[in-house]
Copies of this chain bind each other. A is one copy, B any other.
Amino acid sequence: MTLSNQRIAILAGGGALPNAVAQSATRMGNFVHIIGIEGEADSSIEEHSHCWIKWGELGRLLKNIEAEKCSELIIIGSVTRPDLSEVRFDFGALKHLPTILGLTIGGDNTVLSGVVKLFESNGLNVRGAHELAPDLVAPVGCLGRHQPDEMALKDIERAGKLLDALAPLDAGQGVVVTHEHVIAIEAVEGTDAMLTRAAGLQQWGRSKKNTKAGVLVKKPKLGQDMRIDMPAIGPKTIQGAIAAGLSGVAISAGNVLLADRDEMIRRADDAGLFIVGIEMS
């Protein structure tokens, strides 16, 4: 299903995705209003109808969405989880404070389903970016010029098994495996930090320096709410994979967003890396 003729609010975190989603949504005949989170969202959102809010200004956010008569809400982009002791809550947020504080316990999935419920109880339909911009979702097959070799396919298989084992525990969206050796597992630090770490652990699982080996694999966790927490990769991910000496990146087809796809493919092609979408269970 795709949306058209709707009034859509986009709550924007960092990165290129919020703007890309806004462009797609506009192209499809929707009215788009972006609310950028200060310190997170990119200034590129200002090319659309927009306003800025601070963390904690939930009341202001809801009022703004109401004033713009939006019925649909998309929450997209990266966020640095704020230190709650430094967040100033506005009056509208205080009304929801018990819910907000309840959100601070538990894994990502618990937290995020709480966020969805909070907006839904305020009459909004929370939508996934993929409902609006199917062209932003990873397809099956190789995205660029390069393909995984046999060793890489083995590494992808092992990585997939590991992520499957972690999925029921609401942990692990990404993993780096080199020659069947599990190099790094992502928890809350995020993919970029994990890749930086992997770059420093290059000696593990490889017999020669300067040989590309190993894969980054990303897929959603079990029960991950694709409306609000869809995994994403972008040029920065590819840059990190290159720096870590990996041979490529594999993603769960249909379940991972591609930020700035062309730039991502260009960098991977230049560096000899593959990017492949695979149907994962």
A residues engaging B (CB < 8 A)? 81-85, 101, 104-108, 158, 161-162, 165-166, 168-172, 176, 179-189, 193, 197, 200-201, 203-209
Which residues on B sit within 8 Å (CB–CB) of A85?
207-209
Evaluate contact between A187 and B188: CB separation under 8 angstroms. Answer: no
Q: How far is the CA of A165 from the CA of B200 in the complex (A)?
A: 26
Nearest chain B CB to A213 CB, angstrom units: 10
Q: Chain A contact residues: over half helix, strand or loop, or mixed?
A: loop
Which residues on B sit within 8 Å (CB–CB) of A200?
189
Nearest chain B CB to A120 CB, angstrom units: 23
Which residues on B sit within 8 Å (CB–CB) of A82?
203
Evaluate contact between A180 and B81: CB separation under 8 angstroms. Answer: no
Nearest chain B CB to A101 CB, angstrom units: 7
Residue from the set A101, A168, A181, A204 with the largest chain B CB neighbour count within 10 Å: A181
Nearest chain B CB to A182 CB, angstrom units: 4
Please name the residue on chain B nearest to A184 by beta carbon.
Answer: B187
Which residues on B sit within 8 Å (CB–CB) of A188?
181-184, 201, 204-205
Evaluate contact between A189 and B182: CB separation under 8 angstroms. Answer: no
| Contact partner, A81, options B162, B169, B171, B203, Cβ 8 Å | B203
Please name the residue on chain B nearest to A151 by beta carbon.
Answer: B105
